[in-house]
Chains A and B, each alone.
Chain A
Amino acid sequence: MTEDIKTTPPASVTPAEKDDNALGRRGFFRWMTVGWIAFSAATGGFFTVIVRFLFPNVLFEPPQTFKAGFPNDYASNFVDTRYKKKFNVWMVRDEESIFALSTVCTHLGCTPNWLGTENKFKCPCHGSGFRMTGINFEGPAPRPLERYKISVATDGQILVDKTKSFKWEKGEWENAESFLKV
């Protein structure tokens, strides 16, 4: 009995019995290739469609540029919080320049508060602190606040463009567009 079980099945198709319609080894691999390409194209395509669907072409967001009054409106060494609520920008004037600081904490995007008495921005979420210039000095924030592009419009008012930002750690605060000389 045991020998019966052990006998191997007859050897695979011998050339003599080969059917003309049967798929040869080569043909098999050819079809496999076509099959796999079709499979990858279908899944890959479907996946691409899904991912791309998450990113609309048009965004309905508030305008990214605004006018922030005349340079002489600002006293030196003063942080102006007027534009914080509407545009998420602090207008800061130090001794020699005016710049537009982003109100987005570089840690996790909360909005810090300007504490005039302590002369610093303090984030309520995780306690990051920034100096008036935007340089981070305490708490977990990894880098300084970003500055926005600032220029003088034709009517003499300051024009802040939030679509372009300048990062200190990349040396971009040297860029002439990141501040206004006064």
Chain B
Amino acid sequence: MENKNKKSFLERMGESQVWKSIIRSGVPRSRRQRMQAILGSVFLHLHPARIPKHAVKIGYTWCMGGLSFFLFIVLTITGLLLMFYYRPTVEYAYTDIIDMAEQVPLGIMRELHRWGAHAMVLTVWLHMLRVFMTGSYKPPREFNWGVGVLLMTLTMFLSFTGYLLPWDQLAIWAITVGTNMARAHPFIGHEGPGASLLAIGDINLVHAGSDVRFALLGGRFVGEASLLRFYVLHCIGVPFITMILMAVHFWRIRKDGGISGPL
């Protein structure tokens, strides 16, 4: 009773000049302040201030889209840390992988990265399944479903490019099989249908040294150049495209009327 007028530490902190300069709405207590807390934050205003009731039910959304985004962030952070130790060369790659588990304290960074990647493929699939099961791809969300399919493809491609980096048996043979599919690409792969039509006289334009597989591998065989190319694609190329598409995906959720729901 005697403390009635005494303000708690948290309350006083919430009224301090520093706090108010960062979060202008103060401690979110009133309805207005709570809405301000969302609208005034650069990160949280990804959300609208108010959403339909069913949108907060785990049974409706399974939280899978959010977890996929969260995993993308986890993978970015852990991946960045792995880059401190890993050198993408045939000579060092394999030993660096062993070193980062054994010579670095709390060496589960690679585990977090690898299992996180597997988990992300799974969460993305489950998110896709949920969106299909609730019919949420229907107008006006057709375009965003398409963006989502591309994001799913990119997730799998990110995972695939990461597979080569440890430079172990699993890595090179998965990449060998994977890139040999590119060899069979119609017209631009040298063992694909139609490639032999692209010729001037006797000179084939599309051969083992000029087809799409060569561009992927940086050579005719999986080797030094392939490791570097997949490393760059894995760390910069594909994540960059993914981030752009993610921005579009999130933006369009809001623009298409927020989360889907029955009318």
Across-interface contacts of B173 in A (CB, < 8 A): 110, 125
B177 near A61 with CB under 8 A, answer no
Interface segment, one of B11-19, B34-42, B211-219: B211-219
B224 near A110 with CB under 8 A, answer no
| Chain A residue nearest in CB terms to B229 | A54
In whole angstroms, how far apart are the Cα atoms of A56 and B229 in the complex? 13
In whole angstroms, how far apart are the Cα atoms of A17 and B224 in the complex? 70
A59 near B220 with CB under 8 A, answer yes
**A45 is an interface residue with CB less than 8 A from chain B:** no
**B180 is an interface residue with CB less than 8 A from chain A:** yes
Q: How many residues of A contact B (CB 8 A)?
A: 12
Interface residue ranges of A36-92 to B (CB < 8 Å): 51, 54-56, 59-61
| Chain B residue nearest in CB terms to A109 | B180
A55 near B215 with CB under 8 A, answer yes
B177 near A55 with CB under 8 A, answer no
**A176 is an interface residue with CB less than 8 A from chain B:** no
**B181 is an interface residue with CB less than 8 A from chain A:** yes
Whether A108 touches B176, Cβ cut-off 8 Å, given contacts A55-B210, A61-B223, is yes
User: Closest Cβ of chain A: how far from B189's Cβ, in Å?
Assistant: 12
In terms of DSSP, what is the predominant structure of the interface of chain B? helix
Across-interface contacts of B218 in A (CB, < 8 A): 54, 56
**B132 is an interface residue with CB less than 8 A from chain A:** no
Interface residue ranges of B202-235 to A (CB < 8 Å): 209-210, 214-215, 218-221, 223-225
User: Closest Cβ of chain B: how far from A110's Cβ, in Å?
Assistant: 7
In whole angstroms, how far apart are the Cα atoms of A125 and B181 in the complex? 13
| Chain A residue nearest in CB terms to B208 | A165
Across-interface contacts of A55 in B (CB, < 8 A): 209-210, 214-215
Across-interface contacts of A61 in B (CB, < 8 A): 219-221, 223
Whether A60 touches B177, Cβ cut-off 8 Å, given contacts A55-B210, A55-B215, is no
**B127 is an interface residue with CB less than 8 A from chain A:** no
- Which one of A56, A107, A108 has the highest number of Cβ atoms from chain B below 10 Å of its Cβ? A108
User: Closest Cβ of chain B: how far from A92's Cβ, in Å?
Assistant: 22
Across-interface contacts of B223 in A (CB, < 8 A): 61
**B113 is an interface residue with CB less than 8 A from chain A:** no
B224 near A60 with CB under 8 A, answer yes
User: Closest Cβ of chain A: how far from B205's Cβ, in Å?
Assistant: 12
User: Closest Cβ of chain A: how far from B219's Cβ, in Å?
Assistant: 6
Across-interface contacts of A56 in B (CB, < 8 A): 218, 225
| Chain B residue nearest in CB terms to A105 | B180
A109 near B219 with CB under 8 A, answer no
Could you name 6 residue pairs across A and B whose Cβ atoms are closer than 8 Å?
A: A54-B215, A60-B224, A61-B220, A109-B177, A110-B173, A125-B173
Interface residue ranges of B176-206 to A (CB < 8 Å): 176-177, 180-181, 183
B220 near A110 with CB under 8 A, answer no
In whole angstroms, how far apart are the Cα atoms of A107 and B173 in the complex? 13
Residue-wise interface mask of A (122-150) relative to B, using a CB-CB cutoff of 8 A (1 in contact, 0 not): 00010000000000000000000000000
Across-interface contacts of B181 in A (CB, < 8 A): 108
Across-interface contacts of B225 in A (CB, < 8 A): 56
